[in-house]
């Protein structure tokens, strides 16, 4: 038995037989060719280009039903690259001038591209370099006769795929083949492949060192997507423990599934509204399946992070598609929250000492007006297709709201002049996630149509702790008295001014804090669709009366840790089965 540790990237527990997609790193044949073989090598390369293009096209075609436009976009990028004249000329040059075999020529040219991408210290480019690696691999495999689709043909349902890395293309094929889960040596939680797996509920562990060399085809493998564990050839005792866990997990999911069509009402009959937070349109499917009331937060910056600067037309198409598949339910589109930890080198941006406090989100958009206008035009135009609102991130004061509204008015005028249809009366709301805005919530409420509480940032900035820093995560307490005071203040301001208020930070999907928020008076919650059923379960088990009593106790606690314990006890008493242990 070997236990390997990686990063949990999609929750779940599965046991199955291993299917080794790639055992070793690709062996590229290298030899010198004769002058008389140049044409033959060139032909081999052209043939591989043609077949690889056909391969990507066919996956794109067969995935049209199940994938969102933006997920399909990756295939267009691959196809564009395979037609790139510079790339083709470069490979031909190596074949003709250096008398290299075609596989080696492709490998050298692709490696040069990968290297230049990896030299840029930026997550976005690192992810893109993997895309080039996938294309290179596919081309070389074509030429040496290792057709990936043939390898994938051998895969059976319910197998666990083990690989060095899995491209979004291969992940698409694997998901359609109903594999049980996958583990990779490479990859990150935020890669396209991981996001895709999460939206299909397939457990994934990424970043597992030495994975491929420790697994053989057909080995029994346990994948623990909660702890990021891959257990290879488990001993009897471990297998027994995990078989039990897998069974419990299946029945936990079954229990949650029963709630799909149930109403979201507390045990004393108060209705609660649940919405989804989405990063890619694909997640809307799950949101609909679980009967969310709509999308409470569409984080549009992810389309930028996935593709770089995209045209108004492309943004329009992605948003229109999201609005249409959202079944006429409300959808809140947040303007780009770029900068901070969501920064791409594609964005002209000075190096900042404190990016979380820097030129980010609305500040960035206001500084780069043309860039912002492009997005506003796309949102306003797409909004004609459904019940759409627009939300502004990281607002710190009233001036930013007014400046943004001025730009929106300018954009509207331009659209009128150009005779382009758009939604004239789009509601405009703000994220309340900077303490300064929370403190003047009463004034801000008079300027906007709705509030959404971004508790992730609100807690970060109020308590002065970096939300991504594990060393200070113990201080991340949504029950801190200061947070309770701000949450109450925001709610009162919204009620007084008769505007809607939702909570869309992580606490909105966390059973413990749902109880806290209900006690404070919040009734609208927006969360990752994966957490909707869990939220339904806790809400149906508890009463507003109990939650209000809970708040009374929390207010008396001067130490947040004690309040956290109080909340845990409350959950244990009322819904100990809401979490999977």
Contact residues toward Mg ion (CB under 5 A) are: 433, 454, 457
Q: Does 219 bind ligand PEP (CB under 6 A)?
A: no
Which of 8, 454 has the CB closer to ligand PEP?
454
- Piece in contact with ligand PEP (CB under 6 A), picked from 100-108, 312-320, 452-460, 487-495: 452-460
- Piece in contact with ligand PEP (CB under 6 A), picked from 346-354, 395-403, 449-457, 485-493: 449-457
In sequence order, the β-bridge partners of residue 166 are none
Which of 36, 354 has the CB closer to ligand PEP?
354
Residue 199 phi/psi, 5-degree rounding, is: -70, -15
Catalytic annotation present for 547: no
Q: Could you say which DSSP state residue 335 is in?
A: P
Whether residue 102 contacts residue 41, with contact meaning beta carbons closer than 8 Å, is answered with: yes
> Which of the listed partners (ligand PEP, Mg ion, none) does 299 bind, with a CB threshold of 5 to 8 Å by partner kind?
ligand PEP
Which of 457, 564 has the CB closer to Mg ion?
457
| Total binding residues toward ligand PEP, as defined by CB under 6 A | 9
> Which listed residue (138, 229, 299, 480) binds ligand PEP by CB under 6 A?
299
Whether residue 203 contacts residue 10, with contact meaning beta carbons closer than 8 Å, is answered with: yes
Q: At its nearest, how many Å lie between Mg ion and the CB of residue 455?
A: 9
Cα distances (Å, whole numbers) of residue 547 to 387, 509, 521: 32, 16, 9
> Which listed residue (456, 524, 528, 563) binds ligand PEP by CB under 6 A?
456
Tell how many helices (H) and how many strands (E) occur in the chain.
24, 16
Catalytic annotation present for 212: no
**Nearest one of 444, 442, 355, 335 to 397, comparing CA atoms:** 444
- 3-state SS, residue 328: coil
Q: At its nearest, how many Å lie between ligand PEP and the CB of residue 379?
A: 17
Which of 140, 503 has the CB closer to ligand PEP?
503
Give dist(CA 331, CA 300) in Å, integer. Answer: 12
Whether residue 463 contacts residue 482, with contact meaning beta carbons closer than 8 Å, is answered with: yes
- Piece in contact with ligand PEP (CB under 6 A), picked from 119-127, 128-136, 420-428, 451-459: 451-459
Rg (CA), the chain: 26
- Helix, strand, coil in percent for the chain, rounding step 5: 55, 15, 30
- Piece in contact with ligand PEP (CB under 6 A), picked from 5-13, 119-127, 267-275, 450-458: 450-458
- State the virtual CA torsion across 514, 519, 521, 523 in degrees, nearest 10: 30
CA angle at 450 for the pair 444 and 456, rounded to the nearest 5°: 85
Q: At its nearest, how many Å lie between Mg ion and the CB of residue 426?
A: 21
Q: At its nearest, how many Å lie between ligand PEP and the CB of residue 197?
A: 21
- 3-state SS, residue 130: helix
Q: At its nearest, how many Å lie between ligand PEP and the CB of residue 378?
A: 19
- State the virtual CA torsion across 379, 385, 386, 390 in degrees, nearest 10: 10
Residue 333 phi/psi, 5-degree rounding, is: -100, 120
Which of 202, 453 has the CB closer to Mg ion?
453
Q: In the range 496-555, which residues lie near ligand PEP by CB under 6 A?
A: 504-505
Q: At its nearest, how many Å lie between ligand PEP and the CB of residue 265?
A: 25
Q: Does 337 bind ligand PEP (CB under 6 A)?
A: yes
Write down the catalytic residue from 212, 480, 504, 547.
Answer: 504
Which of 457, 516 has the CB closer to Mg ion?
457
> Which of the listed partners (Mg ion, ligand PEP, none) does 365 bind, with a CB threshold of 5 to 8 Å by partner kind?
none
Give dist(CA 143, CA 427) in Å, integer. Answer: 55
> Which listed residue (63, 129, 191, 455) binds ligand PEP by CB under 6 A?
455
Give dist(CA 423, CA 158) in Å, integer. Answer: 47
150: its two tokens: 């043939």
- Piece in contact with ligand PEP (CB under 6 A), picked from 53-61, 150-158, 245-253, 455-463: 455-463
Q: At its nearest, how many Å lie between Mg ion and the CB of residue 434?
A: 9
In sequence order, the β-bridge partners of residue 20 are 162
> Which listed residue (433, 510, 546, 564) binds ligand PEP by CB under 6 A?
433
Write down the catalytic residue from 192, 349, 480, 547.
Answer: 192
Alpha helices in 9-100 (DSSP H): 38-63, 69-82, 85-98
Which of 281, 456 has the CB closer to ligand PEP?
456
CB atoms under 10 Å from CB of 43, counted, come to 11
- CB under 8 Å to 241, separation ≥6 — which residues? none
Whether residue 13 contacts residue 203, with contact meaning beta carbons closer than 8 Å, is answered with: yes
> Which of the listed partners (Mg ion, ligand PEP, none) does 505 bind, with a CB threshold of 5 to 8 Å by partner kind?
ligand PEP
Q: Does 454 bind ligand PEP (CB under 6 A)?
A: yes
What are the catalytic residues?
A: 192, 504
Q: Which residues of this chain interact with ligand PEP, rule CB under 6 A?
A: 299, 337, 433, 454-457, 504-505
């Amino acid at each position: 038995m070997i236990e390997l540790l990686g990063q949990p990237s999609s929750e779940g527990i599965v046991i199955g037989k291993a299917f080794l997609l790639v055992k070793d790193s690709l062996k590229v044949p290298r030899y010198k060719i004769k002058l008389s073989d140049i044409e033959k090598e060139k032909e081999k390369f052209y043939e591989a280009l043609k077949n690889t293009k056909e391969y990507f096209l066919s996956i794109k075609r067969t995935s049209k039903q199940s994938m969102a436009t933006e997920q399909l976009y990756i295939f267009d990028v691959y196809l564009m690259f395979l037609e790139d004249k510079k790339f083709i000329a470069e490979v031909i040059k190596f074949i003709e001038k250096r008398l290299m075999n075609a596989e080696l020529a492709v490998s050298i040219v692709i490696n040069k591209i990968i290297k230049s991408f990896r030299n840029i210290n930026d997550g976005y480019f690192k992810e893109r370099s993997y895309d080039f690696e996938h294309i290179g691999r596919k081309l070389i495999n074509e030429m040496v006769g290792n057709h990936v689709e043939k390898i994938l043909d051998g895969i059976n349902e319910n197998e666990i795929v083990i690989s060095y890395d899995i491209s979004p293309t291969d992940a698409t094929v694997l998901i359609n083949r109903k594999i049980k889960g996958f583990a990779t040596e490479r990859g990150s939680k935020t890669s396209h492949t991981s996001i895709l797996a999460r939206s299909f509920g397939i457990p994934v562990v990424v970043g597992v060192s030495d994975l491929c060399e420790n697994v053989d085809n057909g080995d029994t493998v346990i994948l623990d997507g909660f702890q990021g564990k891959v257990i290879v050839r488990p001993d009897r005792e471990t297998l027994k423990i995990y078989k039990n866990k897998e069974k419990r997990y299946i029945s936990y999911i079954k229990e949650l599934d029963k709630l799909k069509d149930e109403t979201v009402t507390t045990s004393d009959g108060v209705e609660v509204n649940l919405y989804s937070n989405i990063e890619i349109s694909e997640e809307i499917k799950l949101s609909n399946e679980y009967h969310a009331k709509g999308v409470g937060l569409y984080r549009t910056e992810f389309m930028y992070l996935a593709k770089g600067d995209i045209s108004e037309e492309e943004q329009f198409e992605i948003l229109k598609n999201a609005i249409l598949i959202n079944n006429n339910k409300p959808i809140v589109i947040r303007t780009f929250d770029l900068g901070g930890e969501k920064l791409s080198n594609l964005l002209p941006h000075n190096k900042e000492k404190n990016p979380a406090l820097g030129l980010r989100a609305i500040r960035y958009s206001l500084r780069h007006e043309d860039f912002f206008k492009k997005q506003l035009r796309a949102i306003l135009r797409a909004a004609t297709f459904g019940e759409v609102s627009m939300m502004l991130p990281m607002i710190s004061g009233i001036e930013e709201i007014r400046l943004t509204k001025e730009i929106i008015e300018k954009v509207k005028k331009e659209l009128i002049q150009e005779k382009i249809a758009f939604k004239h009366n789009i509601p405009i709301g703000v994220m309340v996630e900077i303490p300064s805005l929370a403190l003047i919530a009463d004034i801000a409420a008079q300027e906007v149509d709705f509030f959404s509480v971004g508790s992730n940032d609100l807690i970060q900035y109020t308590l002065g702790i970096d939300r991504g820093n594990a060393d200070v995560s113990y201080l991340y307490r949504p029950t801190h008295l200061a947070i309770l005071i701000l949450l109450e203040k925001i709610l009162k301001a919204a009620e007084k001014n008769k505007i809607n208020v939702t909570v869309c930070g992580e606490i909105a999907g966390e059973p413990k804090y749902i109880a806290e928020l209900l006690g404070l008076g919040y009734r609208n919650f927006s969360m990752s669709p994966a957490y909707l059923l869990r939220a339904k379960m806790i809400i149906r088990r508890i009463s507003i009366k109990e939650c209000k009593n809970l708040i009374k106790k929390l207010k008396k606690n001067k130490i947040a840790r004690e309040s956290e314990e109080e909340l845990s006890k409350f959950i244990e008493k009322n819904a100990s089965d809401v979490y999977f242990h």
